[in-house]
Amino acid sequence: MLYNAPSPLEVKVLTRRFGLPDSTSIGTYLANGGYAALEKARGMTPEAIIDEVKASNLRGRGGAGFPTGMKWSFCPRHSPKPKYIVVNGDESEPGTCKDRLLIENDPHQLIEGVLIAALAVGARAGYIYIRGEYRYLIEIMDRAIAEAYEHGYLGNGFDLYTHTGAGAYECGEESALLESLEGKRGVPRIRPPFPAVVGAFQCPTVLNNVETFCAVPAIIRDGASAFADLGTPRNGGTRLFCLSGHVNRPGVYELPMGFNLLRMIEEVGGGVRGGKKLKAVIPGGSSCPVLKAEECDIPMDFDSLAKAKSMLGSGGVVVMDEDTCIVRAALRIMRFYAHESCGWCIPCREGTTWLRKLLQRFHDGQGRKGDIALIGELAGNMLGRTFCPLGDAAAMPTLAFVEKFRDEFEAHLDGKPCPREAVYA
């Protein structure tokens, strides 16, 4: 199903079959170019497939933006152990709701992407890890997998299964996801070795986000350069941007990589709701440092956002209008990280909890003068000192909120809580 009207500015590559009647069925998929890329890939060498993905400038859509073809090439060619494909469908980054649509509307595209990856690295089985809350997607995916078996796409040397999570943001981190897949607590592993060498069941594993795998059939079908040319240098293709917050037309829109953020808010999202002024935007999910309104004239690709000291992340664009209390936003985000920290390493477990308490104190009007510096010190002590990126994901946005909106934190020091009654326990 589609939950928002499409925009005329969209460039539909991954979403091209969205909205077709019976779009989840293999019949619709086959009638609209489905599995043609797999046929083409069968005529290519594994090296040629990987080279094509490298040349497409496809970068990981889960958030880190690592070049996908390079990730695949780390998987050893000759291995005495079986190799696996694992799909990360644990979508839980606040602000992100795109993988859900890709599975809900076109599950066969994901299967085809996985099958091409399996050819490229020589894998014999795959697992689609889907967050537990998305139960209906597991049903859709299971039906599509059954159809792919009936048509012989699966079962001839490659098996594919769904695996449900059971509620844990941390399992979106690749090594924690693998622990979870093995029936353990979802705590991260020490890396290296990376999953490409020691992954699922201690075997070489290619692990990518749902959207990343879904881009692969288009790359093989239309060629690497057609995909690369849609985006900006080193940032190939399109991206499903999840526009949320204070815009007139929130929704998920597929736009070329490098699409200007202000234009996205104005022309795709219909501008800030209620004619209000733009205050700030979180450009790629809650882990990404906030941009002030004047920083939003920026191309939405991995490199441009990194240059602006933020991240493109998972594509969750959260728009905040002039009335938004930044302290409240920072607190809500830190409550999330404190709740989701797995507790495995101390800087994250303690850091997120202390930051939550400090931000709560600010929000309640009980902040003390030294607290602004203390937030910086606490967050600074987490950066680069945690087992997995969750610690950084909590610290980085907090530092940006405090640095860029220091005046709002100072305004909370006058003993008065936010105009809005504090509701947090």
Partner 1 sequence: MTFSPELEARFARLLESYPQGRQRSAMVPMLLYAQDEVGHVSRELIEEVARRVGVEPLRVEEVAGYYSMLRRKPLGKYHVQVCTNISCMLAGGEEVWEHACRKLGIGHKEVTADGQISLEEVECMGACSWAPAIQVNYDIHHGVTPEKLDRLLDSLRKLQ
Footprint of partner 1 (CB under 8 A):
3-4, 82, 91-97, 99-100, 125, 127, 131-136, 161, 163-169, 180-186, 201, 242-246, 250-252, 282, 286, 316, 318-320, 324, 328-329, 332-333, 336, 339-340, 342, 423, 425
* Residue 223 near residue 44, CB atoms below 8 Å: no
| Torsion of the alpha carbons at 207, 208, 209 and 214, rounded to the nearest 10 | -130
Minimum CB distance to partner 1, residue 202 (Å): 10
Q: Which is nearer to partner 1, 73 or 209 (CB)?
A: 209
What is the distance between the alpha carbons of residues 267 and 263, in angstroms, rounded to a whole number? 5
Q: Which is nearer to partner 1, 97 or 119 (CB)?
A: 97
Q: Which is nearer to partner 1, 242 or 298 (CB)?
A: 242
Q: Which is nearer to partner 1, 219 or 325 (CB)?
A: 325
Q: Which is nearer to partner 1, 228 or 348 (CB)?
A: 348
Q: Which is nearer to partner 1, 72 or 169 (CB)?
A: 169
What is the distance between the alpha carbons of residues 75 and 138, in angstroms, rounded to a whole number? 28
CA max distance for the chain: 70
Amino acid, single-letter form, for residue 245 = G
Which residues lie below 8 Å from residue 343, measured CB to CB, with a gap of 6+?
349
Q: Shortest CA distance to 31 belongs to which of 16, 13, 49? A: 16
What is the distance between the alpha carbons of residues 105 and 131, in angstroms, rounded to a whole number? 17
Minimum CB distance to partner 1, residue 167 (Å): 4
Q: What is the DSSP string of 343-396?
A: SSSHHHHHHHHHHHHHHHHHHTT---TTHHHHHHHHHHHHTT-SSSTHHHHHHH
Q: Which is nearer to partner 1, 73 or 92 (CB)?
A: 92
Minimum CB distance to partner 1, residue 115 (Å): 18
Q: Shortest CA distance to 389 belongs to which of 298, 314, 282, 290? A: 314
Burial 338-355 (b: 16+ CB within 10 A, else e): bebbbebbebbbbbbbbb
Q: Which is nearer to partner 1, 252 or 296 (CB)?
A: 252
Distance of CA 324 to the CA centre of its chain: 25
Minimum CB distance to partner 1, residue 284 (Å): 12
* 3-state SS assignment for residue 31: helix
Q: ∠ CA(268), CA(242), CA(324), 5° rounding?
A: 85
* Residue 69 near residue 56, CB atoms below 8 Å: yes
Minimum CB distance to partner 1, residue 166 (Å): 4
Minimum CB distance to partner 1, residue 355 (Å): 16
Q: Which is nearer to partner 1, 52 or 211 (CB)?
A: 211
Q: Is the bond leading into 193 cis (omega within 30 degrees of zero)?
A: yes
Q: Which is nearer to partner 1, 99 or 147 (CB)?
A: 99
Residue showing tokens 């499903």 = 240
Minimum CB distance to partner 1, residue 3 (Å): 5
What is the distance between the alpha carbons of residues 166 and 183, in angstroms, rounded to a whole number? 11
Minimum CB distance to partner 1, residue 161 (Å): 4
Question: Cα dist. 135→104, 141, 179, 242 in Å?
Answer: 11, 10, 21, 21
Q: Which is nearer to partner 1, 108 or 328 (CB)?
A: 328
Burial 199-231 (b: 16+ CB within 10 A, else e): bbeebbbbbbbbbbbbbbbbbbbeebeebbebb
Minimum CB distance to partner 1, residue 38 (Å): 23
Minimum CB distance to partner 1, residue 177 (Å): 12
Minimum CB distance to partner 1, residue 125 (Å): 8
